[in-house]
């Protein structure tokens, strides 16, 4: 019924607003852009964002929190059996996201939430899973994502399925690999 649809849609919007409050842009002194998110008190992002950012930090409720001494750090995104991930334990904040604990299927429809332009532009887009290879999956987005989206969560509801690590955009709206779509 129409009332049931409206209720489900409102519930979805409330859930997404709560989920969105778990996503924070990463700032740095060299303006290297990136994003990350909280699962409980753990802040996740891509390892290459932390590698490339000088003095990375996030801002929560007006307080600057430095991203130093990750409890886990790997930056080998060129190897599909490797990881591109950094995790920090930040006890002062609790996020609404959880980890997805099921098998990822091709053709799943997911959502990515990120910030670009040093946290000024929020982007939420649909991600269709097109293939899975070891620790990585290929997703086709309905937005043309650029620098700054790395480290953002890819979610199914409030469950994190993956971390955005690389795109096919060279930064000037041309594909890095011309055999694949830019998004």
Q: What is the pLDDT of residues 155-174, one digit of tens each?
A: 988 899 888 876 555 556 56
**pTM for the predicted model, two decimal places:** 0.81
Q: What burial letters (b/e) apply to 40-55, b meaning 16+ CB within 10 Å?
A: eebbbbbbbbbebbee
pLDDT the model gives residue 31? 81
* 3-class secondary-structure state, position 47: helix
- The rounded percent of the chain whose pLDDT value lies above 70 is 75
pLDDT the model gives residue 5? 41
d(CA 134, CA 93): 31
d(CA 44, CA 47): 9
Task: Report the first-to-last Cα separation within the chain, whole angstroms.
Answer: 35
d(CA 158, CA 178): 33
Choose between 60 and 167: higher pLDDT.
60
pLDDT the model gives residue 16? 66
Which DSSP helix (H) or strand (E) runs through 4? helix 2-20
Q: Are 129 and 73 in contact (CB under 8 A)?
A: no
- pLDDT band of residue 3 (cuts 50, 70, 90) is very low
Nearby residues of 78 by Cβ (< 8 Å), 6 or more positions away: none
């Amino acid at each position: 019924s129409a009332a049931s649809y409206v209720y489900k849609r409102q519930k979805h919007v409330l859930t997404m607003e709560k989920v969105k409050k778990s996503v924070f842009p990463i700032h740095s002194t060299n303006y290297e852009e990136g994003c990350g998110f909280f699962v409980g008190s753990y802040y996740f992002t891509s390892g290459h964002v932390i590698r490339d950012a000088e003095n990375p930090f996030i801002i929560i409720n007006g307080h600057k929190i430095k991203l130093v001494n990750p409890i886990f750090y790997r930056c080998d995104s060129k190897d599909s059996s490797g990881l591109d991930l950094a995790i920090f334990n930040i006890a002062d904040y609790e996020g609404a996201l959880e980890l997805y604990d099921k098998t990822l299927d091709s053709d799943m429809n997911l959502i990515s939430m990120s910030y670009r332009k040093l946290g000024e532009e929020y982007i939420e887009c649909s991600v269709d899973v097109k293939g899975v290879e070891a620790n990585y999956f290929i997703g086709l987005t309905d937005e043309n994502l650029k620098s700054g989206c790395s480290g953002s969560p890819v979610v199914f509801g409030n469950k994190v399925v993956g971390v955005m690590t690389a795109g096919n955009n060279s930064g000037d709206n041309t594909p890095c690999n011309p055999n694949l779509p830019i998004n």
